[in-house]
Amino acid sequence: MLPSVLQRRTSDHIPVLADDVRRLVAVQPGETVVDATFGAGGHAALLAADQRGQGRYIAIDRDPTVQPYFESFRRRFGSLQPRLLRGEFSNVLEGLAANGVEADVVLLDLGVSSMQLDIPERGFSYATDAPLDMRMDPSGALTAADLVNGESERELANVFRRYGEERYARQIARAIVRRRPIESTAELVDVIKSAIPAPARFGDGHPAKRVFQALRIAVNDELGALERALPASFEMLRPHGRLGVISFHSLEDRIVKTFMRDGERGCTCPPDFPVCVCGNEPILRAVSRRPLRPTDEEVAHNPRAASARLRVAVKV
């Protein structure tokens, strides 16, 4: 895909919860920002503007198609010595932490990016016909087609149930096995529709939504990456540093919520212990008990923000 075509298709990219992110992570001039999911650079432009030409900006992304967006960002904010580190964000964050890199802000904007959804050939969308791919890093070995055509009925059902919370996981897995090989998104959508009861096809959202989510998460190990990235992010943060995480479904948000709750609590002793014997102390303070959600106005302007949830914590 040529960069010029890519930029045309994603020129209307709008960062979600932008005002809340900017307000709560509160970037100051001279600080170091690690943007672990650079994407099209929407949040990056806002946070870098708050640095006012002073500090450092480190961007991370596994998707090679971010390069033209990063080059544009670097031309605009060159005084921040921007760096783009290619790779899966948990691996890069762990490497940075191991090498003693410190940050004042780490931002994780999870899920699939606009550039991935807007390029049909990448196979993330159930709305257009394309090869069944779904790799965020196109050089990765595993594709959605590999899973769909290679896993057992039982394992497919487990993937759909665990990562998509799909009610009809078993029926869909059985239908897939009977229909294989399946090579395109349209073929998979047809199989899903044929496997679920008629009323469910007209329920909440597209009938293939949960299966596509599950396959994408499995192909890219998204939940495993998040579980590794959170402690690595906090290891990097200086005292009073801020971690912001934008999630888009309950599985991601549950991991973030648990991490922040445990970090705020500190003590891991069983509840029936009369005194703490573990010696663990709180490592963070959650900015709010509940995640911030987009306003109705934002959702009307940017429908992709509808399921977004923002949690922010401060290192103590």
What is the predicted pLDDT for the residue at 115? 74
Q: Which of 140, 60, 74 is nearest to 107 (CA)?
A: 60
What is the predicted pLDDT for the residue at 278? 79
Q: Look at residue 61 and tell me whether its pLDDT is greater than 70.
A: yes
In this structure, the number of other CB atoms found within 10 A of the CB of residue 91 comes to 16
Tokens 């050939």, residue located: 121
Domains 3-115+222-315 and 126-220 share a fold: no
CA dihedral defined by 274, 280, 242, 79, rounded to 10 degrees?
170
- Write down the domain spans for the chain: 3-115+222-315, 126-220
**Helix, strand counts (H, E) of the chain:** 14, 7
Q: Which two tokens stand for residue 94?
A: 């762990």
In this prediction, residue 5 has a pLDDT band, given cuts at 50, 70 and 90, of: very low
The CATH superfamily assigned to 126-220 is Putative methyltransferase TM0872, insert domain (1.10.150.170)
Choice among 18-22, 24-28, 199-203, 223-227 with the minimum mean pLDDT: 199-203
In this prediction, residue 13 has a pLDDT band, given cuts at 50, 70 and 90, of: low
Choice among 40-54, 65-79, 247-261, 274-288 with the minimum mean pLDDT: 274-288
Q: Rounded to an integer, what distance in angstroms lies between the CA atom of residue 157 and that of residue 104?
A: 42
User: At the topology level of CATH, where does 3-115+222-315 sit?
Assistant: Rossmann fold (3.40.50)
Which helix (H) or strand (E) is 83 found in, with range?
Answer: strand 83-86
C-alpha angle with apex 21: 20 to 27, nearest 5 degrees? 120
What is the predicted pLDDT for the residue at 218? 97
What is the predicted pLDDT for the residue at 12? 53
Judging by DSSP bridges, how do beta strands 32-35 and 56-61 pair with one another?
parallel
Q: Which of 113, 110, 109, 129 is nearest to 121 (CA)?
A: 129
What is the predicted pLDDT for the residue at 3? 40
What is the predicted pLDDT for the residue at 290? 93
